[in-house]
Structure 1
Amino acid sequence: MQALFTLYQIVDVLVGVLVMLIIIQFVIGLLFAFNVVSPSNQFLMAFYTSINSLLDPILRPIRRIMPDTGTIDFSPLVLILGLQIFLIILDGLIRSAY
């Protein structure tokens, strides 16, 4: 049973890292959109591009399923909610095993 709890902790850390990457992507996108930071800033653009390349394979299937909402992309929010629901279910399963 301790192994299941350890597995849950590892998954929880990975989900936390993924959520932080999603939030960073969102904030940098807002900074670019409102011209707070110029897209010609090479460091920030490289960082933003690398985060997009990490998250795009995960977000692409969600974007295909969701209806088109125009300029607002709700797929990161759906991913965060899905990950949190997954953690709650996994925690319930582990607790019921004890």
Structure 2
Amino acid sequence: MGYAIVWLVDIVITLMIWLIIASAILSWLFAFDVVNHRNRFVGQLAYFLDRATRPILDPLRRVIPSLGGIDITPIVAIIGLNFIRILFMRLASGPLIALLG
């Protein structure tokens, strides 16, 4: 059971990292008019990515100032999520696996 919880936490953090990367790439594609945001599929994809990444990025956007129109909050969020994943794997996974098996 402990292995499953450790695996699930690792997968959720990895998925959030990939969603943040996809959201950043899609925002660049919007900014440079590569994709049309009026396209139904692209609009739904952008809406999903925005809703999925907002709980992580919005608190960071309140703290980190804008650097001349460049949003660095995805980079900070990815570094923070990797830090949390490494910290969890090093500190909590061993006792969790030992406790739950």
Name the CA distance, whole Å, in 1 between partners of 2:5 and 2:94.
15
CA RMSD of aligned residues (A): 1.8
What is residue 75 of structure 2 aligned with on the other side? 77
Deviation at 1:96, TM superposition (A): 6.0
Deviation at 1:62, TM superposition (A): 0.7
Correspondence 1:23 to 2:16: no
The one of 33, 38, 41 aligned to 1:40: 38
Deviation at 1:55, TM superposition (A): 1.3
Deviations 1:44-65 (A, max 9, x none): 0121012102211221111111
What is residue 60 of structure 2 aligned with on the other side? 62
Name the CA distance, whole Å, in 1 between partners of 2:66 and 2:26.
22
> Greater RCO between the two (CA within 8 Å, min separation 6)?
2
The 8 Å contact of residues 57 and 73 in structure 2, kept in 1 or not, is answered as yes
Deviations 1:23-75 (A, max 9, x none): 11111111111111122212101210121022112211111111221311111
The 8 Å contact of residues 60 and 73 in structure 2, kept in 1 or not, is answered as yes
What is the identity percentage for the equivalent residue pairs of Structure 1 and Structure 2?
A: 31
What is residue 14 of structure 1 aligned with on the other side? 12
Alignment: residue pair count? 96
| Structure 1: unaligned runs, 5 residues or longer | none
The one of 78, 88, 91 aligned to 1:90: 88
The 8 Å contact of residues 20 and 53 in structure 2, kept in 1 or not, is answered as yes
